[in-house]
Homo-oligomer: A and B are copies of this chain.
Amino acid sequence: MNQIEAPRPRFAQIADILRDRIRRGVHAPGSPLPSEPELSREFDVSRVTINRAVGVLRSEGLVQVRRGRGAFVRSVPVITRVATRRHGARDAGRGAYDVELRRLGLDPSWTASVERVPASEQTAELLNVEVGCELVVRRRRYFANELPVQIADTYLSSELAEKAGVTEENTGPGGTYSRLADVGRGPVHFTEDVTCRGATSGEARFLEIEPNQPVFEILFVASDKENRPVAVTRHVMPGHQWRLRYDWTDEPEGQTE
């Protein structure tokens, strides 16, 4: 067994060089890389090899390529989503998003809309309802400086949504969870499943990333005090631009259950 590093493929070496140039600011955020024919001449390789090298940077989220225009360096602020346990669930919500983005000097914004859809198999199981039964879904889209950074869709059974009065875009002070609490179904138990997968083409289009570029998917289930699920939220966000933070304090031994 030989510990000497095998010679790296040209496309990988060129990707390294370009990555380093971006890191050092030779190509500033928002500015284009030299065109493929130019890079092809500079490194004395075929344009196909340059295309593959740039493909590496694309899949890392470092550049955004637009056909007919060029490859542009992204500015990728890493946004931290803090889920502090002892302060309750809403800390990971909209208010915290605002604070975090302003801390980074970015302008937070979002859109919201409400629809009715039949329950998918997965959502039906999580909400403990029949497949195909009617759900109310609140779709939110988050932006940082006009750039899309997160998809968040919350599903509730139509029945519960109507009882709690959250079938309109404006859910009033405290949001959906406060309205649920008003009718005695306030969520108390929370489960959050985090996975990492390639973006679907629809997600990629909205988030302006490559299909198959890694995204975080968070499935957030809120249940009431009788442990009945009341709402499911699916978050999808580009993997390279988020950090998920969880913090908590252990109870002293005696108080644990």
- A residues engaging B (CB < 8 A)? 56, 59-60, 78, 80, 83, 85-89, 187-198, 212, 214, 216, 239-240, 242-251, 256-257
Contact = CB atoms under 8 A, between A and B. Distances in A.
B248 A197 contact: no
A77 to B, nearest CB: 14
A182 to B, nearest CB: 14
Contacts of A56: 212
Nearest to A221: B247
- How many copies altogether? 2
B197 A247 contact: no
Contacts of A240: 196-197
Given A89-B250, A191-B245, 7 more contacts: A59-B212, A86-B256, A88-B250, A189-B250, A195-B243, A197-B239, A214-B239
Nearest to A249: B189
Given A86-B256, A193-B245, A198 B251 contact: no
A188 B250 CA distance: 5
A34 B44 CA distance: 35
A154 to B, nearest CB: 18
A214 to B, nearest CB: 4
A190 B189 CA distance: 20
A198 B55 CA distance: 14
Nearest to A247: B191
Contacts of A198: 59-60
Given A56-B212, A195-B243, A197-B240, A85 B188 contact: no
A216 B197 CA distance: 11
Given A87-B256, A196-B214, A256-B88, A190 B250 contact: yes
**Which of the listed residues A83, A194, A242 has the most CB atoms from chain B within 10 Å of its own CB?**
A194
A244 B218 CA distance: 9
Contacts of A214: 196, 214, 239
